Structure 1
Amino acid sequence: MNDPQSPGEASGDAEPPSPNRTLHSHPLAEWEAPPPETPDPPARGFLGRILRTLGPLASEPEDAPDSMMEAATSAEAPSILNLRRMSVDDVAVTKTDIVAVPVTVGLPELVEVFREHGYSRVPVYRGNLDQPLGLIHLKDLALKHGFAPKGAPRFALRPLLRPLLYVPGSMPIGALLQQMQQKRIHMALVIDEYGGVDGLVTIEDLIEQVIGEIDDEHDESEDGLWVQERPGQWLVLARAPIDRVEAEIGVKLISGVYEEEIDTLGGLIFMLAGHVPVRGEVVTDDSGVQFEVVDADARRIKRVRLRLPGTAEGGTIA
C-alpha cells in the first residue's frame, strides 16, 4: 500500500448512526486484556475458528525474524500467526501520519482532503486529534452531496459521522480484527495511557499482516523493482537486491564485512540509519548517494528515492 490509511477498504460498514448515538466512548471500554488464568472467550465465525486453531502464544514459529534489521527491511511473508504474535502498535501508523479533519471543515476543503490523499475514511475531531468525534466515509459524503441536484441540502458534517473504535496499542491484532468484523467498524484509533490518540489502524492494515500487500485500482503499479524518474534519480523498492541496484546506478554502495550481511537496499538504509527510518527521512551513504524514504511503516522500509551525488532534489514523492 502507498498510504498509511488504506484507500482500498471495503465500504460495507454499518449504517450511519442516529443523531442520539454516542460516537466517542471511553478508549479502554472497547477491550480489556483478560487475566492470565482466564481462558480466551470463544470466538465466532471463520476468524474465530482460525484463532482457536492457532492455540496459545507460546507456539512461536521457527521462521520468526532473527534480527530487527531482518524484520525492518524484508518483505517477509505474512503469516496467519501474526494474528496472535503482533500487537496493534506493530501495524498502526503514528499520530503524525494521521490525516484527519476538524468538525468545522467546509465541503470544498473536505473534498480536497479525499482527493489529495485517496482515502475512503478520514477521522473527524473537535479542537484537536485527541478529541475525536468519529469518521467521515467518502461514500456517505458522495451520496449526500456529490450526486445531489442543484439546491442540495446545506452541508453539515456531524450527521454523516460514523463511529470509531478506540483501542490500546497492546491489543493483539487478531482481537481487533474480530472487533472490527463484529461491529462493522473498519477504523480504530490507538489510545495511550493518558487517553490521547497515539496512532491509527484500519482493517486493511490488519489483513495485510496475514495475506500480504493489498493493491486496489488506485494504487500505483510496482511491477519493477525501480523506475528512473530522471537522470541520477530512481524510485526503488526497498526489497531490491543491493547488487542489482549498484549495477543500475554504477556506484558501489557496500564493501567489506557488510557485503555478506546486507542483501537488499532496505537493509543498507537500515544499517546506515540505525533504526527504521520514517517517511520523508533522508539517509546519506559514504559514497554521497542519498536515500529518501518514500514509503515505510513502523516495521519496515517499502520504497526509497535514490539520488546520485550532485543530483538536485526535484522528484515528487509518490
Structure 2
Amino acid sequence: MGLDQSGSRRPGQRTWLGRIGQALGGQEPRDRDELVQALRGAHQRNVMDADALSMCEGVLHVADLQTRDIMIPRSQVSVLPRSESVWDLLPTIVESGHSRFPVTGDNRDDVIGILIAKDLLPYLNPEQQREFRLRELLRPALFIPESKRLDALLKLFQESRSHLAVVVDEYGGLAGIVTIEDVIEQIVGEIDDEHDLDEDTWILSRSDDGRTVVKALTPIDLFNEHFGTALDEEEFDTIGGLIANYAGHMPRRGETVSVQGLRFEVLRADSRRLHLLMVAPQAAPVTEREERRS
C-alpha cells in the first residue's frame, strides 16, 4: 500500500496519481478532474494520441455509469421460450442473429438460463438424430440489479467468465440485458458487427422516467417527429451536430447540454464526433451520478 504503520506514506513511495502526473510532466493530480486535465494536456503536447485519450477518459467515465444507462431494455430483448423442440427455437435465433439468449419458463420474467446458439448445431444434422433436452444445454444466468456500476460489472464479467447478464428490476422481473461488449464500448467506442442495429434505427431505448437513448446521427426531422419538438432543421442535419453547436465545442462523455426544454447527456463520443445521447425532459430529476459529477 506504500504506507507505514502510522498511516503515512513511506519515503520514496508515490501514489499512482503522482506517478501519472510525473509521467505527464506535471504535479500529482489532486482529484479526478485534475487527472482528466492532465491527460488532455498530454494529448495537446502529443504525448498521447486522440484514441488513447478517449480510452483513458472512457475508463474514468465507466465508474459514473450504471447498468440501467446502457442495458438493452426489456422490450428489445430477444428471449426463447422453454421448448422440447429445437425447431421451435430456430426462427427467433435466425431472425435476431444473436449468439446468446435468455430462456424463459412460465412467463417472460421467469429466466431459467442462457442458451448459446452454437450449442444447437449438433441437433440440426438430419442424418444423426439426437434427443433434445433444452435444460441440459442451458448455462446459469448472471442476474444483476439496474443500479450496478459498470466498473463493478466488468469485473464481475471477468470473474464469472460470462458475456451476458440479465438485468432485473426491484421486483425481480426482467428489466433488460447487458453484454460485456456493451461495457467495453463505453471505454473504446462503438464496436460494430454484422448483427448491430440497422443504420436507420435511430431511437434505441426509452426508460419509464422519460429518458431516451438516441443515436447522435439521428436526422433532426425524425427527432422532431418522435419527440414533438421544433428544433432547427434548416441549419443542422443531425441531432449530434445541433448539440455540438449549442455546446460550442465537441462535447465529451458525461457532458450535458440543455436545448429547448430537453437535457442531452453525451453517453458515447470520441474526439471527432458524438455517437450516443441520453435525452430527458429538463425537469427530470437529477440522477445520483449527475449529482456526483456536479
TM-score range, shorter chain: 0.5 to 0.7
Q: Give CA deviations for 1:71-105 in whole Å, capped at 9, x if unaligned.
A: xxxxxx66111221111111112111111011126
Q: Indicate yes or no: 2:159 matched with 1:186.
A: no
1:92–1:298 contact (8 Å) kept in structure 2: no
| Higher RCO (C-alpha under 8 Å, 6+ residues apart) | 1
- TM-score for the superposition, normalised by structure 1: 0.49
* Residue matched to 1:122: 101
Change (3 A) 1:108 1:275: farther
Of 183, 186, 207, the match for 2:184: 207
Deviation at 1:189, TM superposition (A): 1.1
1:134–1:163 contact (8 Å) kept in structure 2: yes
> Between Structure 1 and Structure 2, whose CA radius of gyration is higher?
2
1:163–1:185 contact (8 Å) kept in structure 2: no
Q: Give CA deviations for 1:25-44 in whole Å, capped at 9, x if unaligned.
A: xxxxxxxxxxxxxxxxxxxx
Distance 1:127 1:197 in 2: 13
Deviation at 1:154, TM superposition (A): 2.3
Change (3 A) 1:271 1:217: same
CA RMSD of aligned residues (A): 4.2
2:84–2:132 contact (8 Å) kept in structure 1: no
Q: Secondary structure at the match of 2:88?
A: helix
* Residue matched to 1:85: 64
Q: Indicate yes or no: 2:147 matched with 1:170.
A: yes
1:91–1:205 contact (8 Å) kept in structure 2: yes
Deviation at 1:201, TM superposition (A): 0.5
Q: Secondary structure at the match of 1:204?
A: helix
Give structure 1 stretches of 5+ with no counterpart: 1-48, 64-76, 223-236, 244-252, 277-295, 301-318
Q: Indicate yes or no: 2:239 matched with 1:265.
A: yes
Distance 2:126 2:261 in 1: 54
1:123–1:134 contact (8 Å) kept in structure 2: yes
Deviation at 1:135, TM superposition (A): 0.8
2:77 alignment partner AA: I
Deviation at 1:298, TM superposition (A): 8.2
Overall identity of the aligned pairs, in % = 38
1:23-172 counterparts in 2 under 5 A?
Answer: 59=32, 79-104=58-83, 106-142=85-121, 144-146=122-124, 148=125, 150-172=127-149
Q: Give CA deviations for 1:12-71 in whole Å, capped at 9, x if unaligned.
A: xxxxxxxxxxxxxxxxxxxxxxxxxxxxxxxxxxxxx9xxx9xxxx735879xxxxxxxx
1:145 alignment partner AA: Y
Give structure 2 stretches of 5+ with no counterpart: 1-15, 21-30, 38-53, 200-214, 222-229, 244-257, 265-274, 280-294
- The alignment of Structure 1 onto Structure 2 pairs a total of residues equal to 189
